[in-house]
Chain A
Amino acid sequence: MSQSQPSTRRLARRVSWETILALLLLIAVAGGTFLNKDFLTSDNWANLLANFVEIALMALPLSLIVITNDIDLSVASMLGLSSSLLGLLWEYKLAMPLAILICLVVGALCGAFNGFMIVRFRLPSLAVTIGTLALFRGFAYIILGDKAIADFPPEYTGFGIGVIPYTFIPMPFVLFIVLALIFWVVLHHTTIGRSLYAVGGNQTAARFSGVNISRLKMLLFILSGVISALAGIVFTFRFSSSRADNGTGFELSAIAAVFLGGVTVQGGKGTVTGVVLSLLLIGVINNVLTLADVASEILRIVTGSLLIISILLPNLIASTRERLRLMQRQKEIAKLGTASVAK
């Protein structure tokens, strides 16, 4: 995951991070079934999957951004802004499809603003997105103030809380799966995806390989804006409530899911599968703990610990292997040394 030594690369090839995540997921599901007889019901799984759909949506473009060695902390604020704008437009009796379109466009503009500051002015993305986190959330408050808009048309709120007939899969979750598939194809099976890894791994080399980094990064931030806006729309329909504070704090959960999914902070590594698995893992753990009436504060502690362990463990394994290798080398050298002396 981080500094890959030859021995860990062998280990990595045999046991990838995704495999570990999948195993953890199985353990969590097994644990849930054991702890609560209602865990494996379709109702519960509908709730489980619907619960993190907005965070899941935001995590997809975020993981691409982190792969290219940047970050976007303003995703939740763009969600809130989009939700507030949707409510405002709906209050002014704008047709819903048009309102949705406008929100997506505004999301793209917000993302473009991020991209502009980061790509054109070459400002560090951490600082810029901390600024836009406040800026966009502030816009949401300016738009809506202390109002809350409800009364959304049932065709749309029905999508928000509905499930695919005869299954337990929530409709917004289907949206997420579709997008995840698209991201998977793009990241792992297209040249653009390959160049994302290149940019994250070694930006200078990527530039010399002909990758138009500016255009790529700009695209990613715009994408992040559009999908965050989409998440805001989904949120509004799911809860039939447009409020300026919708989604506050979601960015931390999204980032936690991205890092836990195997995308490294230095960039250049990570897969969509990993992020999807980590989202499911966090979702399942949250659900199991809530069903067991564990206090919400414990959930926080668990998420934080998962995040840290996800990086600490591979690091420890790597350093232990390195130490063992060194010890083994020293033993071999010592043996050679005595052998030559004996001669």
Chain B
Amino acid sequence: MIFLSRSKTLSTPTNHPMIINSLTRTIAVVCSVTFLGMVAYAQDKPIKKGLKFTAIPKNINNPYMVIQSGGAMDACKELGIEGKVVGPSETGASAQVPYINTAITQHQNAILIAANDPNALVPYLKKAIGQKITVVTLDSDTLPEGRNVFINQASAEGIGQSLVQTLARQIGSSGDFAILSATPNATNQNTWIKYMQEELKKPEYKDMKLVKIAYGNDEDQKSFTETQGLLQAYPSLKGIISPTSVGIAAAARYISTSPYKGKVALTGLGTPNQLREFVKDGTIKEFELWNPSDVGYLAAYAAAQIASGNIQGKEGETFAAGKLGTRTVGKDGVVLLGPPTVFNADNIDKFNF
């Protein structure tokens, strides 16, 4: 904010009817150099050297999490930060706690975590914050007191709305549909479902009815058999929304080899590589996602900026995020990655993740 006052000083000499003598010229030069320096400094506030980050995904064997953590590690490499990915094999509430504690014991500078439970981790993350460790949540949030900022891949409301809108387009805004979710307690899933249900209250969807929420637990075969169950139990089902990459891939695989292909619309959040063949064979018309790698990347940059003392994670602050440009911290410490990309037959070949 100093450079703002500097520019005020800069502009005053030109407003005053003063002779531009050599002293003023020197002052002007000094001021402009300082101003440019300040601007450059603000864009490029240095990241501290020798930082150590720990990324804790929901579980260590989840392919989506692997892409996300990979993005975080790319950012760490760019910034010269020593980063590592550790995590549990299960997605229970308590499973990530030992890794948080280990990060504290190892005197890490930041923890990047996709939370399995919004509440269970808070006491332990608070302990980390108390020890001056930056905590950044990504993909799935905790209570705000447990972290400095939360990297949200896209506005939860936006995701909920666009998923309902996409399905409505495909089934003519009328009919029964179901949601195939991940685990019953996943924060992000439940938030998106909540916004979906909000969107459904609008008058234009009065003929669309949500008949069931099924849980595939982010496991391929469970999602597969749950899809079967949905189609068997609800003969009038017109569509399925699956806001999880494991779920939509399994559902697509089942539907494409069944007589329901083309009759039951399928949409949701998935990766282009997994769903390409199903878009091409007509099982899926449209689906959306962001680049999970970018989420991790942004999280690492945000953590680096906070750990270096450049920002505090308060609303309105901006920070440099490498290839993702300048980012702003929003309300409640949430940083948005941006709107999701919609994939369909026209553009799906352009992406590779």
The residue of chain A having its C-beta at the shortest distance from the C-beta of B185 within the complex is A148
Whole-angstrom distance from the CB of B256 to the nearest CB of chain A?
28
For residue A41, CB closer than 8 A to chain B, the reply is yes
Q: Which of B89-147 contact A (CB under 8 A)?
A: 89-90, 92-94, 97-99, 101-102, 104-107, 117-124
Which of B84, B90, B124 touches A249 (beta carbons < 8 Å)?
B90
Please tell me if the beta carbons of A245 and B185 are within 8 angstroms of each other in the complex. Answer: yes
Docked Cα-Cα span, A204 to B270, in Å, equals 62
Please tell me if the beta carbons of B87 and A161 are within 8 angstroms of each other in the complex. Answer: no
Q: Which residues of A contact B213 (CB under 8 A)?
A: 146
Chain B, interface size category, equals 20 to 34
Given A38-B105, A150-B118, also A243-B84 (CB < 8 A) = no
Please tell me if the beta carbons of B93 and A47 are within 8 angstroms of each other in the complex. Answer: no
Q: Which of B299-323 contact A (CB under 8 A)?
A: none
Please tell me if the beta carbons of B123 and A240 are within 8 angstroms of each other in the complex. Answer: yes
Chain A, interface size category, equals 35 or more
Given A239-B93, A246-B92, also A290-B99 (CB < 8 A) = yes
A-B contact count (CB 8 A): 91
Docked Cα-Cα span, A297 to B60, in Å, equals 9
Please tell me if the beta carbons of B120 and A146 are within 8 angstroms of each other in the complex. Answer: no
Docked Cα-Cα span, A43 to B123, in Å, equals 14
Please tell me if the beta carbons of A240 and B120 are within 8 angstroms of each other in the complex. Answer: yes
For residue B177, CB closer than 8 A to chain A, the reply is no
Please tell me if the beta carbons of A291 and B119 are within 8 angstroms of each other in the complex. Answer: no
Please tell me if the beta carbons of A248 and B86 are within 8 angstroms of each other in the complex. Answer: no
Which of A36, A47, A157, A245 touches B92 (beta carbons < 8 Å)?
A245
Please tell me if the beta carbons of A296 and B88 are within 8 angstroms of each other in the complex. Answer: yes
Please tell me if the beta carbons of A43 and B185 are within 8 angstroms of each other in the complex. Answer: no
Docked Cα-Cα span, A159 to B282, in Å, equals 56
The residue of chain B having its C-beta at the shortest distance from the C-beta of A148 within the complex is B185
Which of B105, B123, B184 touches A145 (beta carbons < 8 Å)?
B184
Whole-angstrom distance from the CB of A211 to the nearest CB of chain B?
40
Whole-angstrom distance from the CB of A206 to the nearest CB of chain B?
40
The residue of chain A having its C-beta at the shortest distance from the C-beta of B93 within the complex is A241
Chain A 197-212, CB-CB to B under 8 Å as 1, else 0, gives 0000000000000000
Given A38-B105, A146-B215, A297-B89, also A157-B185 (CB < 8 A) = no
Whole-angstrom distance from the CB of B105 to the nearest CB of chain A?
5
Which of A36, A44, A246, A291 touches B93 (beta carbons < 8 Å)?
A246
Q: Which residues of B contact A38 (CB under 8 A)?
A: 105-107
Docked Cα-Cα span, A291 to B108, in Å, equals 12
The residue of chain A having its C-beta at the shortest distance from the C-beta of B54 within the complex is A293
For residue A325, CB closer than 8 A to chain B, the reply is no
Please tell me if the beta carbons of B105 and A146 are within 8 angstroms of each other in the complex. Answer: no
Cβ-closest 6 pairs across A and B: A146-B184, A150-B119, A239-B120, A241-B120, A47-B101, A241-B93
List 10 A–B pairs whose Cβ atoms lie within 8 Å, in order of A's numbering. A36-B106, A43-B104, A146-B215, A150-B119, A239-B119, A239-B121, A243-B92, A243-B93, A245-B92, A291-B105
Seen from chain A, the residues whose Cβ lies within 8 Å of a Cβ on chain B are: 36, 38, 41, 43-44, 47, 51, 145-146, 148, 150-151, 157, 161, 235, 238-241, 243-249, 286-287, 290-291, 293, 295-297, 300
